Every structure is written in structure tokens, then in C-alpha cells.
């Protein structure tokens, strides 16, 4: 295991625990049933600790399965604490939907972030209605846009309503307020 801390002998688990205490979850893998369950468990744990204080979800993920992604979105809806979302590299496919599903006004990305859009079909994709609602588009209009534009910059993601603003790294590192 690689230490992701400057403290001698610290492990990545130590870093993950420190981030959780600050109400920050780092998600950097493909969305599978297993990784979705791990993420949901962290979100529910933080919600149990404080039902109303915001938490931050930092993502850099290529996306993954629609079913597992839907479970994450349902967990985000189920808790009462707002979830601030931030893309700090890649939000691919269903991860872009998760970023857009964050608390309005608190959906952010770094300037170099990239949003890889997945093909969406009206009536076939369970993520489309949620994504459309979160971006302020109709499902049909969003599906049409995604068919034309498959990769978005952070600025384009902001224009589409996926994020609310582009931020510097220093704005993201602090505990949510």
C-alpha cells in the first residue's frame, strides 16, 4: 500500500479516515456494485454523524454501471445533508450525472476537468431523466446534445448546467461550510 501522506508510517487508510472526519469522500474508481456500496456506506456514515452538515464528494472516475450509479444517486437523495460535488480530473459517463446531482450552487470542477458523456437514449436510459432534471434540460434535448458532443471541458460543463462554477484547488480542499 502506498502512503498518501507526509507523515512517516501513515497509510492511505489514515488519509481516507482523516478525509471522512472532514466530511470529504474521495471517489477515484470505476463505478461497480462493490465501489458503489463502499461510497454509499461512507455517505450514510457521514449523514448519521450529522444529518444536516454538508459533505463533499470529490470525483475522478471514468464512470461505470447504470444500476450501481442509480444506487449512489438514490443515496444522495435519501439523506438530508447536502452533498457538494467536485470533479478534479475526469467525470466519465455516469460520474457526470453524479456530479450534476450535487447540491445546487455547490457543483464544481477544476479548470482542467473533462466530462466524457455517455450516449443517452430517451426511454432506455434510467439516468437520462435524472441528468436532464439536474441540468435543466428536457430528456430529449439532452440526449440530442450528448449525441453531438461527447467530451466537454469544465467551461462547457458549466454551460450545460452540469456544474455551477469552476474553482481553484485551494477552494476545494477545505471542509464544506
Burial degree of 29 (CB within 10 A; 0-12, 13-18, 19+): middle
* Domains of the chain, residue spans: 22-33+55-172
The pTM of this model reads 0.88
CATH topology for 22-33+55-172 is: 2-enoyl-CoA Hydratase; Chain A, domain 1 (3.90.226)
| Residues 23-74 pLDDT 10s | 999 999 999 999 999 999 999 999 998 888 999 999 999 999 999 999 999 9
Quote the Cα angle for 34-154-68, to 5°: 15
Amino acid at each position: 500500500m502506498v502512503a498518501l501522506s507526509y507523515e512517516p508510517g501513515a497509510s492511505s487508510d489514515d488519509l481516507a479516515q482523516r478525509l471522512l472526519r472532514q466530511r470529504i469522500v474521495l471517489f477515484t474508481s470505476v463505478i461497480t456494485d462493490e465501489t458503489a456500496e463502499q461510497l454509499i456506506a461512507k455517505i450514510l456514515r457521514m449523514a448519521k454523524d450529522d444529518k444536516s452538515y454538508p459533505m463533499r464528494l470529490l470525483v475522478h472516475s471514468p464512470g461505470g454501471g447504470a444500476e450501481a450509479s442509480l444506487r449512489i444517486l438514490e443515496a444522495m437523495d435519501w439523506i438530508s445533508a447536502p452533498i457538494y460535488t467536485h470533479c478534479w480530473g475526469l467525470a466519465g459517463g455516469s460520474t457526470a450525472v453524479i456530479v450534476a446531482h450535487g447540491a445546487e450552487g455547490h457543483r464544481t470542477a477544476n479548470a482542467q476537468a473533462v466530462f466524457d458523456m455517455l450516449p443517452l437514449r430517451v426511454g432506455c436510459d434510467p439516468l437520462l431523466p435524472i441528468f436532464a432534471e439536474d441540468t435543466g434540460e428536457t430528456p430529449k434535448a439532452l440526449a440530442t446534445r450528448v449525441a453531438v458532443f461527447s467530451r466537454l471541458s469544465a467551461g462547457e460543463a458549466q454551460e450545460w448546467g452540469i456544474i455551477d462554477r469552476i474553482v481553484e484547488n485551494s477552494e476545494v480542499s477545505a471542509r464544506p461550510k
